[in-house]
């Protein structure tokens, strides 16, 4: 109940500031471009192969949906810190955190409420490329299942990065610092994957396992792997747990 109250308040302040509109507009623009490129590329390849007389089987799911979704997951990395940066930093700066923490609500309710609001904004953002992706159904016969799994992956990945971003936001009073630090961490979690190309020593395997993007691959292929789902869910719990610890520590440091 209190969680929903916090969530509603948070959501309304997103849509009252330019943040929600700005993030959604840029996301729509970038993803729209990706979609356009993917579709044009697909159509050209298809035309070429028919003209050459070869009939290479072309799959919309593989060529368009998977491409667009992987790109969306990367763009998400850049935009998520902008969603989470104000969550706690702003409340700390204006002193309203004191109101929340002296109200008869638990820290968990506050944290989950805020995280949920950020997740809802992220979902609204994800709904935008869905419009273009669904238009594929009007012209072709893509399979809806890989698309659904891909979206589930996006939501899980987003939830995990949002939880981490929320944690970063509790560490500072300054939104910009929270944004930049959050972005740095998101970026790092993305590129940690790169070490896997060196060799497959246990250390590199562990490091690349921590990477957020390595777990998205299976989702973008339309494969629902419980290992990856569990990774995301546990990262969400970890992020929210750290947020809780950090909030608790505010009481001791204030």
- Site for another protein, rule CB under 8 A: 2, 5-6, 9, 12-13, 16-17, 94-96, 98-105, 251-252, 254
- Look at the alpha carbons of 119, 121, 125, 126 in this order and tell me if their dihedral is positive or negative: positive
Looking at the Cβ atoms of 238 and 250, the one nearer to another protein is 250
In the complex, what is the shortest distance from the CB of residue 122 to another protein, in angstroms, rounded to a whole number? 20
Q: Which residue reads 């044009």 in tokens? A: 40
Closest contact distance (angstroms) between CB of 117 and another protein is 13
Least distance from C-beta 239 to another protein, angstroms? Answer: 23
In 35-149, beta strands by DSSP E? none
With CA atoms as reference, report the closest residue to 79 among 121, 36, 130: 121
Pick between residue 20 and residue 189 the one whose CB is nearest to another protein. Answer: 20
Whichever of 98 and 143 has its CB closer to another protein, that residue is 98
Residue 99: how many other CB atoms lie within 10 Å: 10
Q: Is 12 or 201 the residue whose CB approaches another protein more closely?
A: 12
Per DSSP, the residues of 105-137 read --HHHHHHHHHHHHHHHHHHHHHHHHHHHHHHH
- Min CB(185)–another protein separation in Å: 27
């Amino acid at each position: 109940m209190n969680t929903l109250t916090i969530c509603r308040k948070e959501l309304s302040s997103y849509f009252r500031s330019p943040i929600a509109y700005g993030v959604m507009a840029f996301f729509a623009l970038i993803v729209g471009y990706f979609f356009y490129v993917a579709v044009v590329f697909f159509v050209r390849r298809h035309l070429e192969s028919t003209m050459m007389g070869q009939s290479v089987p072309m799959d919309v799911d593989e060529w368009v949906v998977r491409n667009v979704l992987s790109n969306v997951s990367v763009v998400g990395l850049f935009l998520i810190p902008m969603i989470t940066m104000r969550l706690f930093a702003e409340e700390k700066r204006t002193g309203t955190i004191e109101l929340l923490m002296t109200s008869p609500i638990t820290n968990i309710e506050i944290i989950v409420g805020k995280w949920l609001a950020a997740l809802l904004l992220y979902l609204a953002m994800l709904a935008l490329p869905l419009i273009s992706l669904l238009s594929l159904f009007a012209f072709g016969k893509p399979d809806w299942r890989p698309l659904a799994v891909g979206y589930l992956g996006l939501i899980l990945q987003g939830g995990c990065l949002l939880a981490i971003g929320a944690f970063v936001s509790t560490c500072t009073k300054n939104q910009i610092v929270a944004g930049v630090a959050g972005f740095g961490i998101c970026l790092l979690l993305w590129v940690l994957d790169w070490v896997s190309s060196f060799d497959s020593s246990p250390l590199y395997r562990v490091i690349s396992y921590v990477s957020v993007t390595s777990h998205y691959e299976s989702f973008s292929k339309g494969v629902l792997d419980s290992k990856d789902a569990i990774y995301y869910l546990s990262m969400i719990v970890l992020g929210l747990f750290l947020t809780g610890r950090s909030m608790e520590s505010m009481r001791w440091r204030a």
